[in-house]
Structure 1
């Protein structure tokens, strides 16, 4: 059909109901001048066996060759219309939710009354919460029942809402069930985060090697500045970033590289100072305020559960939950106070303000410094290896003896492999440290760490 006036296309009568292809169709005025103006799909349909296509793509199970009109007619005869008093959209969403739950309405109501956590998943409970009936809806349904009208004439959704709404203290029960279901996961998520803040704070504060490194930085800074600015007695931690930005006259190395060389030469015992610092990167991911808020929320949830038990003191589920988890919550609260105190203490110790400095600001200052220091260390070692290789090559006189020629460059390579293997071995934990801190560190190494957003980052080293 190539002329500009379009002949209208007839609707195609299919034998079966077909699924919709959700495309964006062009309007007739958009087709003019395009490739579609030159196409004839009706001719293609005439050439193909579309019956086979229908057999493969018809929606769901349909009768062998049912005439759609007959099917529709039968359906309209079969289904007597049922009465619905609740909002149509709410009823539709409730029907979907109940299908997902896969439980009968009476089983759902019984499970809620008995606080049966095994039968009701958290996701399902959270969905059900949206269908708690309003006073108005309950009034309509109860009046319908009082008028003696048959409940069978109500839709399944209306009948469910009526039974659901009759459960005493429905909201409190659902909230209690949701809290109890979420509690173990909340503890699993919060405990490692508290532990990482405690371990990072205590290990940074107690590291004598780190203290000595900062002393060296202060000495270099004062040597550079004192004639113009006078001597400083300390510096803000963010100043550590400047060590990487300050370059030598020939711009071949940074101040950090130079200082790292000095540490290796004059203070070799400080070279592995970063092994003193534990879980700094993990602690940097923690929002301490967020954790404290979550713990307060758990306290409120436990209070609510205890109140519910006072009303429903014959419930073995509530009794067991309170008995098992109260102590665990107390321990978590205690650890949150320890984490807070340890964090405030270390932040103040390094001259920062704990009120305005979050862990996400404080710990990365050490994280960046350690990362840059390790990089400098690596580059210095690589440079040293290269110099060794070059000096071996220079010393070596050309000789037809191939074995002799191979020996020189191969040796440093073997040294490098041995060196890398050595560096892969974890540094021994220092003795004489706080036993509780060691326990926390061991625990953190064995616990999969969940960030505040719930994701589990790839495994990494402990610094």
Structure 2
């Protein structure tokens, strides 16, 4: 209320509270006290007299919420003042929500009365004791209808706070807000369709599925009993509301426990239309004692996808009973079109001892000898999985041991071979060959460390020195390949690597002292040096060059060498080069390019590389003079305009990187979002846009910026463009759902069809039936004369015992014997898997995950509907968006309705599959029925 309106505000008479302009509520509606007999007429007369005196030119309309059909005292008193009274019921089948037709009537009466009479008419709202929850609900609906508030939950909470604390709990045993919010959303979506409320659909309420069992007794379970209230479409008076479905109230009502199952499915098959109240109560062992589990009120006109998926926050439950429901509790109400109602089910045929097709018991005389005295192993593990694990573990272990033995033998041979021939190496070998020997020595040291386990400190020192020096000198080796080779020492040790060879292959700068102190490995095996016969004695060595003296001894450095070998001496600091991120090969495989290059020697030598040119091209930083750097800095400071960043730099940089991947002007991007154009933006791009929607703090910061907006960074410019679209993040989420909807629906439909096909194949396979009968006869033969014998069937988990039961010699299991028996006497059954084409694909599908996908699709459609209703107030910017979204919503609802019908059919077939094997569908989920 503005300051001017507060100045001219006229306080209502005592006993009235003004909720909306010219809509007054009697304060007796908020009181828990009951006026004494005879005081109530006095209370009303005082209020009405004062009201008439202050509003002489106004007309009055009173609306009363009462219980029963008798005329109330309130209506009799107001009739004396010529004030018309409209009576509404205080609840609908115990729920403080009116049917949608009465809600529409209330809203339009209020709108018409307030708009007529030169905007001076007044409405008086009154509720009798216990009707406050309904009055609060209708006031909230009126605020939503007149667009005075937008958020349903917040609006309802504001109205309830006007009453004393605990006032709602006093008049309602259940929390009615979830059902009230559902109907408020119906009111908020009145602009989606041309007619509101939409036409009420006649549907068949197929079943109720509860996922995650609520706890309502000492056994952590419940005995649910379902009742449904609504119009009886098959009765004589279809407009009357009464109970149209209830489960029989018997002591034998099924009890579900959390440890036994996690899904409850209750078949209903009831025709419903219009406003429906569904109650689920827990029936104690005493049939007269009931505890309300939850209540749902809904209207079939808004069941767009033939499913209601609700969690514990979406159903009316007892106050303070939230802990009774697991966190993943979900109630699914499945519908189908009346034409698609499933017929009354015939009893499912089960597998039992009366069915023929197996072998006679005389065929199992041999099995009694093999398995005599062998008990069934009580194990719940998957025997097939255990057996596979054992096989794989044994085979891997054997392969690993063979590999290690072969490597050890090869290594010992190579060590002996290299030990004999290493002293006879030719001094004319190229540097690449010498480098390969050095690198092999490192690998051999590792092998020795693994093989012998000793000399760990020496091996570690050798590995550390060779590894560090190798990385520092790899470039030098390739450049100095054409320089004269260094000569070995005159008398090398018989089983050691020549020290000069190691020094020349791993040159270092300033580390020669530490290098000479490090002991080389005692043996130098290598499988890359092609030694076929001892080499001839080397020629007399030429005098060593000055570079080698410097590399071996610690004498003062000689005069500067030629440029080609200048890297042997201490070079000046050079520019660091950009690294080449390759995967280095340390041992050349026999027959490979690198091994052949080592054999060919000088023939395959790489060309000389100009280091100066390499540094100028691939240095990490450009080499420029100080004057050039200063001029560049001064020029950039003058010419480059300063960019203003308001957003956190890290977030701004990530946002700019994201924008570079989209590669389109910002206005075109916004246009594609508002038109839901999937050909311009894909799902990954839309998801990235959602991540970089501006937060509330960033929006306030950008709104408070008064400078030149063209000087802002790209991220800030992007945020400003998004801020032009109302609720841009919600629109982007709707867009993302629009992109992925077809894929989600197609994948879900494919999985549901696969499960349907698999269940039909299992039930129709005659070969599988004969095999099961054979197993039954085999088990009775083993258990003959015991309490386990004379069975008419067996549980599915007993199939795992076939692999656990072993013969006396432990060489054969009962599964092996069954396969042997079938191969000898009934070989035509061995290809029974050809009858079960879809079983393997169905075994990878879980119905629980499909239910979650179904819920995600349904929730996505709800978000689409909410955004479509909210965009009515956006103005011209959302005209194209509303048109595209409305077209998508119409097509998506038809898709989801057919998908829900298929989903319900799959649930029925999965239950019938469990019944086919004599199992309880609640205790034997579909996944167990797939073997």
- Sort the TM-score into its range (normalised by shorter chain): 0.5 to 0.7
Cα deviation, residue 122, structure 1: 0.8
Q: Name the residue aligned to 2:649.
A: 88
Partner of 2:684: 123
1:34-69 deviation per Cα after TM superposition (whole angstroms, max 9, x unaligned)? xxxxxxxxxxxxx96323223553579x89999566
| Aligned partner (choices 196, 200, 214) of residue 758 of structure 2 | 200
CA distance in 1 between counterparts of 2:920 and 2:630 reads 77
User: Is 1:321 the counterpart of 2:888 in the alignment?
Assistant: yes
Give the equivalent residue in structure 1 for 2:859. 300
Instruction: With the length of structure 1 as denominator, give the TM-score of the two structures.
Output: 0.63
CA distance in structure 2 between the partners assigned to 1:73 and 1:20 by the alignment: 32
Conserved in 2, the CA contact under 8 Å of 1:129 and 1:174?
Answer: yes
Aligned to 2:729: 171
> 1:249 deviation in Å?
5.1
Distance 2:776 2:819 in 1: 14
Kindly state the Cα deviation for residue 355 of structure 1 after the two structures are TM-superposed: 4.3
Q: Note if contact 1:284-1:361 (Cα within 8 Å) is conserved in structure 2.
A: no
Shift of 1:216: 1.4
Give 1:184's aligned residue: 742
Q: Which runs of 5+ in 2 are unaligned?
A: 1-509, 515-569, 583-607, 873-877
- For 2:647 and 2:777, how far apart are their aligned partners in 1? 77
| 1:382-402: CA deviation from partner (whole Å, max 9, x where unpaired) | xxxxxxxxxxxxxxxxxxxxx
Q: Distance in 1 between matches of 2:630 and 2:929?
A: 72
Give the drift of 1:133.
Answer: 0.9
Using the TM superposition, give the Cα deviation of residue 97 of structure 1 relative to its aligned residue in structure 2, in angstroms.
0.3
Picking from 308, 326, 349, the partner of 2:916 is 349
Distance in 1 (alpha carbons) for counterparts of 2:720 and 2:614: 47
Q: 1:224-243 counterparts in 2 under 5 A?
A: 224-231=782-789, 232-243=791-802
Distance of 1:65 and 1:346 partners within structure 2 = 84
1:49 corresponds to 2:624? no
Partner secondary structure for residue 233 of structure 1: coil
Partners of 1:223 and 1:260 in 2: CA distance: 16
SS at match of 1:226: coil
How far 1:173 sits from its partner (Å)?
Answer: 0.8
Which of the numbers 92, 101, 113 marks the counterpart of 2:674? 113
Report which of the two structures shows the higher radius of gyration computed on alpha carbons: 2
Match of 1:334 among 883, 901, 906: 901
Partner of 1:290: 849
Partner Cα distance (1:355, 1:51) in 2: 79
Q: Which has the higher contact order (CA 8 A, sep 6+)?
A: 1
State the alpha-carbon separation in 2 of the partners of residues 244 and 201 from structure 1.
25
The structural deviation recorded for 1:221 is 0.7
Deviation at 1:123, TM superposition (A): 0.4
Distance 1:352 1:10, change over 3 A: farther
SS at match of 1:227: coil
CA offsets per residue over residues 323-342 of structure 1, 9 Å max, x none? 33322222222112112221
TM-score, length of structure 2 as denominator length = 0.33
User: How far is 1:138 from its partner?
Assistant: 0.9
User: Could you tell me how far apart the structure 1 residues matched to 2:624 and 2:750 are?
Assistant: 60
Structure 1, unpaired ranges of 5+: 24-46, 366-463
**CA, structure 1 residues 230+329, in 2 after alignment: closer, same or farther (shift >3 Å)?**
closer
Aligned to 2:432: none
**Number of corresponding residues:** 333
In structure 1, C-alpha distance between the alignment counterparts of 2:674 and 2:666, rounded to whole Å: 13
* Cα pair distance change 1:59/1:112, threshold 3 Å: farther
Residue 137, structure 1, aligned to residue 698, structure 2: yes
CA contact (8 A) 2:672 2:681 kept: yes
User: Contact 2:678–2:739 (CA<8 Å) still a contact in 1?
Assistant: yes
- In structure 2, relative to structure 1, the CA distance for the partners of 1:250 and 1:266 (3 Å cut) is same
- Which residue of 2 is the match for residue 152 of structure 1? 710
| Contact 1:115 1:173 (8 Å CA) reproduced | no
* CA drift at 1:253: 4.8
Corresponding residue for 1:78? 639
Counting strand residues as a fraction of each chain, which structure ranks higher?
A: 2
